A and B are shown apart, each in its own frame.
Chain A
Amino acid sequence: MKIVKKIWLVGLAVLLVSLMSFSPAMAVKEGGTLNLHINKTPDSLWPLTATCRRATYLFELTYNYLVGFNDANEIVPQLAESWDVSDDGLTYTFHLRKGVKFHDGYPFTAKDVEFTYTLLANKKAASLFFGKVEPVKGAKAYYDGEANKVDGIQVVDDYTIKFVLEKPNAAFLSNLMFPIVPEHIFGKIPVDQLATSPESQKLIGTGPFKLVKYVTDQYYEFECFDDYWQGKPHIEKIYVKIAKADVAIAMLEKGEIDYIPEFPPSELDYVKSLPNLKILTQTNTTWPWAWCFNLKRSYFKDKRVRQAIAYALDRQGFVDSVLRGYGTVVNFPNTNARWAWPDPSEINQYPYNPEKAKTLLKEAGWDPDRVIEILYYPGNKERDQFATIGQQMLKNVGIKADVVCMDVARAVEKFHKGNFDILQTGASAQPDPDYQSLYFESSKVIPAGDNITSYANKRVDELFKKGRKTFDPAERAKIYKEINKILNDELPWIIICEPMHVSVVNKRVHGMHFNPNIIAFRDPARLLDIHKWWLE
């Protein structure tokens, strides 16, 4: 039933997007200034150490990746024009696009790719993304200082590069969504000083726009890159303005900002009354909001307790009222890979049913005097509200709970030490379902990975291992379907919902094309075709 609704929403989004692109034909206009918005200055603009989505947003203007995704979630060429995979699944040979230039006019070659991925594996570079190259042969040895290069990265000629993997890894291609940085600039800087060098903050890439100016905490100014390989962008200039979210809404109304990519649904009623704005939605399976149980607590070990809590929560009611319907209730921690979703009939939907919750709690022998703690850190206006809503719903079935709110640093310390009952959080997901192993494989229990709940299930571990080695799509689908079915039954996490992605844009902006789905958490891919946008 819920899945049906989801499909319906996807259909609606597709329709909206296609309507947009087929609206009365207008001639594309050149020039003009576009105003974008971020709510805070990114902490760093160096791709290897930047941690926030705000930085990714700027990367989409200025950098390109080797590969990208299309609307059907298939991997498509970007800087890599094509690639071959050897029969054993170990060697990937990429044929790079010719005639691509960096913002300073230097040509892009295989050297830059080699440099970027070698850097990811360099311990001294303090890269946060070693995980992306870890499957490559010799990457670990290089990381540990046992080799002076990564054996598996081999430049064949200026426009051909090979990646040889340690063992087959079906998720490898999607790891390659990472900005390619120019070797001729950063190769000259000592590796341990790269992240703090002024050059690292200049966003020199092959992307459609180049950074001209940054004014502290005020704005970034970008100019179109005439030699962009996909053609000169229609828009002449872009300002990315930094402003608090509430004020940004006023600026949007006034026309000082043209586009807010992450818009709070609770403010949409107001936007609907303004004639110069339109609302765009995308389904978003990359950022489920969840309650994670601490399975080290004896009283959560019985899965009936977890299931009872799922029945106790009126999640659909939360989506309808707080999110104004812009969200979907789901029952397993999925990713965007639809092929890995089990059939709705095969899983438990946990509809709101307080009576059933009470019965299950009684069976499991829940102590009505026990007080549990719901821990959360402020992250999203709407999500934060669920802590108290959930507390009330638990009370209705006879579970006493306190709500504890802490700033991120303290909350992280607390749950890293395993000192929590229920953590309310937003989890990120990458396109390949293997990404879920980070949360549910027993070898990834915090701090080794992000298995916050300390979930351990031998069958799930086995399936994840098998999934990485399997290349046949039908076989892989079976594996992840089984994992999702187990997680749906055992509920180490209760997924509250998947909020839809709502953005608001000024009607003077044309030519926008969005993937109907958000594909990857840190790669929202909303600006990837910004060279095609134009202004009235």
Chain B
Amino acid sequence: MGAYIIRRLLIGLVVLFFVTVILFILMNLMPGDPITAYIPPEVLAQAGPEYIEIRREQLGLNKPVVVRYFIWLNELVHGNMGYSVQNGEPVLSRIKERIGATFELTGTALLLAIIIGIPIGIISAVKQYSIVDSLVTLFSFTGVSIPVFFLGLGLIYVFSLRLNLLPTGGLATIGAPPSLLDKLSHLIMPAFVLSVANLAQFARYTRSSILDELGQDYVRTARAKGVKELRVLFYHILRNGMIPLITVIALQIPLLFGGAVITEQVFSWPGMGRLALEAIMQRDYPLLMGITTVIAILVLIANLLADILYAVVDPRIRYQ
């Protein structure tokens, strides 16, 4: 197992290298220039004709792409992700100041999706074609298809404006002393909105995966030898049924970091999604490279983690 992990990590490094090369090329193929992208034309015109050239030189944008890539890589190896084009702040510190709030939101949302979605899926599988099952199916289709901004604004309208129960957005009440209750009241709506799509998806996966297992021979055997139904469900079926779900959930982990652009915007949440969107709109290459590289690393780690978890859940799986 140890050797397997090390081998996977080494392969991961090579993959990461190629991923960054491709990202860098793609980013430079994007039409538009970081300087003209964030400075309005009429302001740029006031600045004098050579302004673009001066800034390009200061930012090193006038060097060939290959040279720029290796400068970037060299700095990365030394722990420096570069500086944001717009305000010169280190990319790492711009990511850091948002990472806490991002994980808070996306982590809660994922947790909500797991602890609600999986039990719902189990119930609807066991009680197939019952009213509960139909309701779950209806709910999950609604959940997957409802646009996030619509749900978000709808909740704000009902719970903040009409019922006056929850704040419209933000991390915490401005100026109030920090408290858990205040924090939760700000977190609940965005986390719920964000979890709805995942929740529905998890419920659907759990349901179909458990239905597959229900018809298996080992289930009949277990029942035949007189094992109690609950034990059949939790001890036999669930362990096998969880394997495809591990992949589904593991693939959500990198998205945790990426944040959720729309939910963050609707609820004024200072997350990575907004930062990434801005970086794209303003062609802030260093910032965008920083964010995408971290996501690439997380994808690799999440995949490895999923593979290891398979072995833990299913003793039949062994890695050499």
Q: Which residues of A are in contact with B by a Cβ distance under 8 Å?
A: 33, 40, 43-44, 46, 49, 51-52, 123, 126-132, 134, 143, 192, 195-196, 201, 215-219, 221, 239, 241-244, 246-247, 250-251, 253-254, 256, 407-410, 412-414, 416, 427-428, 438, 444, 447-450, 452, 521-522
Contacts and interface: CB of A to CB of B under 8 A. Distances in A.
Contact of A247 (B30, B88, B169): B169
B163 to A, nearest CB: 12
A522 B42 CA distance: 10
A410 B43 contact: no
B268 A409 contact: no
28 contacts: A126-B55, A129-B47, A130-B46, A131-B45, A196-B83, A196-B89, A216-B97, A217-B270, A217-B274, A218-B171, A218-B174, A218-B268, A218-B270, A219-B170, A242-B268, A243-B170, A244-B268, A247-B153, A408-B32, A409-B36, A409-B37, A412-B32, A413-B31, A413-B32, A413-B36, A447-B52, A450-B41, A521-B42
Given A409-B36, A413-B31, A244 B266 contact: yes
B47 A243 contact: no
A237 B199 CA distance: 42
Nearest to A251: B168
A128 B39 contact: yes
B270 to A, nearest CB: 3
A218 B47 contact: no
B307 interface: no
Contacts of B89: 196
A55 to B, nearest CB: 11
Given A244-B268, A256-B168, 11 more contacts: A128-B39, A128-B46, A196-B83, A218-B170, A221-B174, A243-B170, A244-B266, A409-B36, A412-B32, A450-B44, A522-B43
Contact of B161 (A49, A123, A254): A254
A513 B266 CA distance: 32
The 5 A-B residue pairs with the shortest CB-CB distance in the complex, in nearest-first order: A409-B32, A196-B88, A217-B270, A409-B37, A131-B46
A216 B270 contact: yes
The size bracket of the interface on B is: 35 or more
B160 interface: yes
Nearest to B270: A217
A250 B164 CA distance: 11
B180 to A, nearest CB: 19
A408 B268 contact: no
B175 interface: yes
Contacts, number: 150
A123 B54 CA distance: 8
B172 to A, nearest CB: 8
Interface in B30-73: 30-34, 36-49, 51-52, 54-55, 58
B45 A254 contact: no
Interface in B76-127: 83, 86-89, 97-98, 101
A196 B168 contact: no
Contacts of B153: 246-247
B42 A450 contact: yes
B47 A44 contact: no
Nearest to B32: A409
B32 A407 contact: yes
B266 A51 contact: no
A250 B274 CA distance: 21
Nearest to A521: B42
Contacts of A447: 49, 52
B281 A408 contact: yes
A219 B31 contact: no
Given A217-B274, A408-B37, A416-B36, A250 B157 contact: yes
Nearest to A144: B50
A192 B54 CA distance: 12
A508 B265 CA distance: 28
Contacts of A129: 46-47
Most chain A C-beta atoms within 10 Å of own C-beta, residue among B45, B54, B170, B267: B45
A289 to B, nearest CB: 14
Contacts of A51: 38-40, 43
A132 B171 contact: no
B137 interface: no
A413 B40 contact: no
A133 to B, nearest CB: 11
Contacts of A143: 48
A128 B44 contact: yes
Nearest to A409: B32
Nearest to A245: B265
Most chain A C-beta atoms within 10 Å of own C-beta, residue among B38, B47, B87, B156: B87
A29 B50 CA distance: 52
Nearest to A425: B41
B282 interface: yes
Given A409-B282, A438-B45, A444-B45, A195 B31 contact: no
Contacts of B101: 216
A409 B40 contact: no
B207 interface: no
Contacts of B175: 33, 221, 239
Contacts of B282: 43, 409
B86 A427 contact: no
B283 to A, nearest CB: 5
